[in-house]
Chain A
């Protein structure tokens, strides 16, 4: 019943979220041939050492080192490799990392704090249901609403890419591996949001706290010397690109990174559960 209530409250936002993810992906895919055409014109000139140096100089003018690598990857001679690197950026590094995290925050902030703000928490907590069951039923429905669109959108990239004018094959398994990892990253954000939602007096306060954490992490990511301390290093181009071009398989990524993200999500949720057990309405 709590799960159904949560679903009713969040479903419209969930639908809006999946539409935004698709709305970001469709133009990115459709515009690929034009982009690639432009790249091809540049790379056709690279045979000349002078032009090659000019292109390198232009790439080095790109402000961040990780962006330079992205541009170099997308300039790859092999169109399929180039396109997959481009999709890693559009779909995962940009799309889910921005919209998915925004959804986790927007949907997660109200989990408990909205009940407190609307003065319904005391009513809910005094029903014959354990606090763990209350929080879990709210959490898992929110998690499903946040995570499923990631898989659906990345799945849709495959038929979209196979159609004119792109006509490129993107294996489903690489899309799903990246989606799984990206979903784990978003779950970490959702679990952290849940902690703040349990502690905060209002939804705005929750959003302020989790927003502060995310902005700090983004700021860290954009400073090259301290980028390794940013959580976004665990979900950036360097994570998705090797999987997308087939250089890294599921188990390699899972054991090296994804498992730690899942563990972090579980630990953070466990903390939220313990805090919720002690919370006063």
Chain B
């Protein structure tokens, strides 16, 4: 059996009284892209920092490429390429100098695929000081993904990227997976994660969201209806929640079978309806709504 590239068992991290991570479980295997999802402050960046040995876990077991990040961070960093979420590239350097500076740290490089060159094109001879946020992110991404390593830890890699570059990044990550590299991808663009990740791990308040809770969210979503009506009406009974979305769509959650509930609407009122949802951002929304309700 192949050893996981990253394995976290009941990992916790505390900053004084503040609990950033609690009982976190996560596994990333070679040739796998795992989405790491959670709202701001959920603990995603803290976990990534802990995985590369920038922070020490307060408890639990964490193994990255067979090494403990607290004891042997250097062995991990030699085989891991990490893109921090809140980072900057050196303003005093040109793009070329920055890439060359980063290259020196790694034994070998895997150049950017030719097919993606256009989307990641930045004026490398220009000072980074004169780059836009998107250009800086492209250079940081090139530096991170060109390192020839076994595990890529990417914190918000699509930050500030335009649509074309986001698609190119998607291709690049798929390529890494096809080559057997492991990727842990933290992102707020759930569509990107959904398109890329073999599976996703949800994090809320520093804890994994349990499979049971995700199942429950999916069940809730099965009873969701989004519909357009031709005129305003009093909704029939049988809904547990209803709201009007900014584009005028009415969203209702029903207690029983959605199709039966729709049949109770007055004739000719219903223009269109969409029952259920399995998209990641829908699940994420239900989970985070539930979390804020619990916290409130």
Is A159 located at the chain interface by the 8 A CB criterion?
Answer: no
Q: Verify B88–A128 contact, CB threshold 8 A.
A: no
**What is the CA–CA distance of A5 and B74 in the complex, to the nearest angstrom?**
21
A125 — which chain B residues lie within 8 A by C-beta? 54
Interface pick from B101-109, B182-190, B194-202, B240-248: B101-109
Residues 107-132 of A, flagged 1 when their CB comes within 8 A of B and 0 if not, give 00000000000111011011111100
**What is the CA–CA distance of A120 and B101 in the complex, to the nearest angstrom?**
13
Give the contacting residue for B84; candidates A5, A118, A123; CB below 8 A. A123
Q: How many residues of chain B have a CB within 8 Å of chain A? A: 24
Q: How many residues of chain A have a CB within 8 Å of chain B? A: 17
Given the interface contacts A128-B74, A128-B77, A128-B78, does A280 sit within 8 Å of B88 by beta carbon?
no
B97 — which chain A residues lie within 8 A by C-beta? 8
Is B218 located at the chain interface by the 8 A CB criterion?
Answer: no
Q: Verify A1–B90 contact, CB threshold 8 A.
A: no
Q: Verify A126–B84 contact, CB threshold 8 A.
A: yes
Please give the distance in Å from B180's CB to the nearest CB on chain A.
Answer: 20
Q: Verify A130–B74 contact, CB threshold 8 A.
A: yes
Is B269 located at the chain interface by the 8 A CB criterion?
Answer: no
Q: Verify A280–B54 contact, CB threshold 8 A.
A: yes
A129 — which chain B residues lie within 8 A by C-beta? 74, 77, 105
Please give the distance in Å from A212's CB to the nearest CB on chain B.
Answer: 28
**What is the CA–CA distance of A125 and B54 in the complex, to the nearest angstrom?**
7
Which secondary structure characterizes the binding site on chain A?
loop
Please give the distance in Å from B125's CB to the nearest CB on chain A.
Answer: 15
Residues 1-42 of A, flagged 1 when their CB comes within 8 A of B and 0 if not, give 100010011000000000000000000000000000000000
Residues 75-94 of B, flagged 1 when their CB comes within 8 A of A and 0 if not, give 00110001010111111110
**What is the CA–CA distance of A130 and B105 in the complex, to the nearest angstrom?**
11
Residues 42-79 of B, flagged 1 when their CB comes within 8 A of A and 0 if not, give 00000001001011000000000000000000100110
**What is the CA–CA distance of A127 and B77 in the complex, to the nearest angstrom?**
6
Is A211 located at the chain interface by the 8 A CB criterion?
Answer: no
Q: Verify A8–B106 contact, CB threshold 8 A.
A: no
Please give the distance in Å from A122's CB to the nearest CB on chain B.
Answer: 4
Residue of chain B at shortest CB distance from A4? B101
A5 — which chain B residues lie within 8 A by C-beta? 90, 93, 101
Residue of chain B at shortest CB distance from A278? B56
**What is the CA–CA distance of A1 and B98 in the complex, to the nearest angstrom?**
11
Give the contacting residue for A127; candidates B49, B89, B91, B102; CB below 8 A. B102
Residue of chain A at shortest CB distance from B144? A123
Please give the distance in Å from A3's CB to the nearest CB on chain B.
Answer: 11
Q: List 11 A-B contacts (CB under 8 A).
A: A1-B104, A9-B92, A122-B86, A122-B87, A123-B84, A123-B88, A126-B82, A127-B105, A128-B78, A128-B105, A129-B105
The residues of A with any CB-CB pair to B shorter than 8 Å are 1, 5, 8-9, 118-120, 122-123, 125-130, 280-281
The residues of B with any CB-CB pair to A shorter than 8 Å are 49, 52, 54-55, 74, 77-78, 82, 84, 86-93, 97, 101-102, 104-106, 140
Extra contacts, 16 of them, besides A123-B88, A129-B105, A280-B55 (Cβ < 8 A), are: A1-B104, A8-B97, A118-B91, A119-B88, A120-B88, A122-B84, A122-B87, A126-B82, A127-B77, A127-B102, A128-B77, A128-B106, A129-B74, A129-B77, A280-B54, A281-B54
